[in-house]
Structure 1
Amino acid sequence: MDPFEARMTMVELVGRLNASHASESTLASFMMKHDDLKEDLYACIMEILENNAKDNVNMRNNIMWALGFLCMKIEDFEIKRKRRVAEGAPIGDFKDMTFYNASLVHDLVKVTTELVCSDDEIGRINKQSTLLFLSKMKKRKLGSAAGKGPQGLEQIERAIDILEKRKPPVQDETNLKLPMTNAQKLKRMEEDRERSKMERENAWVIGRHEDEFELQWDAVDGGFTALDKYETQEENEMCQLARFGLDMSTAVKYLGQGKRRRVEEPLSRKETRA
């Protein structure tokens, strides 16, 4: 696909964006599939956000959430790829798609505080949605797949600080303007309801055991102590003994004697394999 055709398709897909998982997934899949045009596609979606969506508060909001969905999809892809590499499994043709993650980290403050939630009457409508988006990106550690976890956290905190310090100006009740039509209001209410529903559903998703461990580990004060290292080494040796056929009581007795030597596989098991 040539760059012009890709841009035309991007404009069409962005125009169809809403709060549904399907519309965000379609756009994300297209951008990930045409990785060779990643610079053009990202520039295109930023141009739409700056120009086409200037007077459309709902489109701004949908583009922001679609970019977040894309980055989280790439984060999950990178986690699975690294796990397969660690397991020695084949990964096929590798494509580094973390460009989008690094780009969003770089432009995060501009996207959230200037383009989506601009400091004007229409932009302030997106304030609560933008804060929710930033909170989700902070929880998902935006930029970690691209090696920009600390930068991502810094940008998120900066954007949140800017938005929370903003105060609505005193309005002249004799000159009030409606920034949204009734149709836009109804559409926005439906989209916010849909996103709220999806967030509640995601809260019940059971993640990997490693995710729960990392969450608990981050909450531990003091880090990895010498006692933790000793106990971890002892538990690893117990697991190794159990793997070679020793029951747990024998393993505990063995370790209690203070012996630290390599455990050889029993001869009977070697003969059985032969």
Structure 2
Amino acid sequence: MADPFEVRMRFTNQLRQLNASVTSAQKAAQYALKYRDMAEDLHSCILEQLERNNMNTRANIMYFIEHFLDMAHRDGHADYVRMMQRDIIRVVDAVAPDDGSGAANVKVARKVLQALQHKSFLEAQAVSEIEEVLKDRDTAAQDLALSSSPTNGDALGDMPPSQTILAPRKSNAPPKLDRKQVEQRIEEDRERHKRLRENIWAVPQGEYAELDKLWEETSDLGDDDERMLAEEWAEWQLAHQNSCPHRRARATEAEAAAREKAANGKHSR
């Protein structure tokens, strides 16, 4: 039997090393599923790392949760899904706290919540209530950013020298990220957007899967569609006939033959 402390430490390190790649998320998820007998302990690791790490790591863990629940559901490990449903509010509070430090993670939390709802891991009512809170936090973070910057009337530079020295420099603005964290977040977001575009253009598996997808996405055929098809077919035939001299000559000969045949038919009558 594996040592519980060692399993916990290794899983913690994997959570800290998560990045935008699917491979890192799958590796950590497979490790947690392998030691599912310690599910409660490993679930607590996820919560602790969400509450202790920086904004980028919390975003990576939030994306990881979606992959993790997918794999747990496919393998029939409902305990992980149940525990995440129970603690989803705590998870969102850690990813995008109300102090403004996780304002950049509001969209991340909202996107993952919608994905979990779409996959029936979360109820629609619960997601709607959490999104209302996230909306307020996003607005509050923007207001805080605006109020923390000096304005024309409140700037310290407009005060007399004595008041400038005595003026307290208190600010409730969240701590700024260093340059390394900002660059890391930009690179990871770029990688996620690239993978999203790949998923959009991915061809479904199965012999007729792509045809079925096009059939479902196509609207019902109406009179306007039939008229448009007839017009486009006539235009194509005209363009095809005029594409080269040989086709034009054959079309002219066929038209002349048709007229001559029609004239001979009239005379025979």
Q: Name the TM tier (shorter chain).
A: 0.5 to 0.7
Deviations 1:190-230 (A, max 9, x none): 11111122222223442687xx89xx7xxxxxxxxxxxxxx
In structure 2, which of residues 189, 210, 217 is the aligned counterpart of residue 192 of structure 1?
A: 189
- For the 8 Å contact 1:109–1:158, the answer to whether it is kept is no
TM-score normalized by structure 2?
A: 0.62
In structure 2, which of residues 116, 123, 134 is the aligned counterpart of residue 152 of structure 1?
A: 123
- For the 8 Å contact 2:62–2:108, the answer to whether it is kept is no
Tell me the amino acid that sits aligned with residue 186 of structure 1.
Answer: E
CA distance in structure 2 between the aligned counterparts of 1:108 and 1:207, rounded to whole angstroms: 33
Give the aligned partner of residue 106 of structure 1.
86
Give the aligned partner of residue 133 of structure 2.
162
Give the aligned partner of residue 35 of structure 1.
36
Give the aligned partner of residue 148 of structure 2.
172
Tell me the amino acid that sits aligned with residue 82 of structure 2.
Answer: A
CA distance in structure 2 between the aligned counterparts of 1:173 and 1:109, rounded to whole angstroms: 31
TM-score normalized by structure 1?
A: 0.60
Name the Cα RMSD after superposition. 2.2
In structure 2, which of residues 197, 200, 203 is the aligned counterpart of residue 203 of structure 1?
A: 200
Distance verdict in 2 for CA 1:98–1:204, change over 3 Å: farther
Distance verdict in 2 for CA 1:207–1:165, change over 3 Å: farther
Q: Which has the higher helix share?
A: 2
CA distance in structure 2 between the aligned counterparts of 1:32 and 1:177, rounded to whole angstroms: 36
Deviations 1:50-106 (A, max 9, x none): 2x21xx11111111111111001223x25xxxxxxxxxxxxxxxxx41111111111
Distance verdict in 2 for CA 1:203–1:98, change over 3 Å: farther
Distance verdict in 2 for CA 1:177–1:65, change over 3 Å: closer
Aligned residue pairs, count: 182
The alpha carbon displacement at 1:156 in A equals 1.8
In the TM superposition, 1:190-269 aligns within 5 A as 190-205=187-202, 206=204
The alpha carbon displacement at 1:136 in A equals 1.8
Tell me the amino acid that sits aligned with residue 172 of structure 1.
Answer: S
Give the aligned partner of residue 58 of structure 1.
56
CA distance in structure 1 between the aligned counterparts of 2:100 and 2:188, rounded to whole angstroms: 20
Give the aligned partner of residue 25 of structure 2.
24
CA distance in structure 2 between the aligned counterparts of 1:199 and 1:66, rounded to whole angstroms: 15
**Partner secondary structure for residue 87 of structure 2:** helix
Q: 6-15 or 154-163, which moves further after superposition?
A: 154-163
**Partner secondary structure for residue 189 of structure 1:** helix
Tell me the amino acid that sits aligned with residue 62 of structure 1.
Answer: N
Give the aligned partner of residue 124 of structure 1.
103
CA distance in structure 2 between the aligned counterparts of 1:18 and 1:10, rounded to whole angstroms: 15
Instruction: Tell me which structure has the larger Cα radius of gyration.
Output: 2
**Partner secondary structure for residue 123 of structure 2:** helix
CA distance in structure 2 between the aligned counterparts of 1:100 and 1:152, rounded to whole angstroms: 16
Structure 1, gaps ≥5 residues long: 79-95, 143-150, 217-274
CA distance in structure 2 between the aligned counterparts of 1:140 and 1:42, rounded to whole angstroms: 20
Distance verdict in 2 for CA 1:46–1:177, change over 3 Å: closer
Give the aligned partner of residue 181 of structure 1.
178
- For the 8 Å contact 1:65–1:133, the answer to whether it is kept is yes
Structure 1: which 4+ aligned runs deviate by more than 6 Å? none
CA distance in structure 1 between the aligned counterparts of 2:116 and 2:194, rounded to whole angstroms: 18
The alpha carbon displacement at 1:8 in A equals 0.9
Distance verdict in 2 for CA 1:6–1:160, change over 3 Å: same
CA distance in structure 1 between the aligned counterparts of 2:9 and 2:58, rounded to whole angstroms: 19
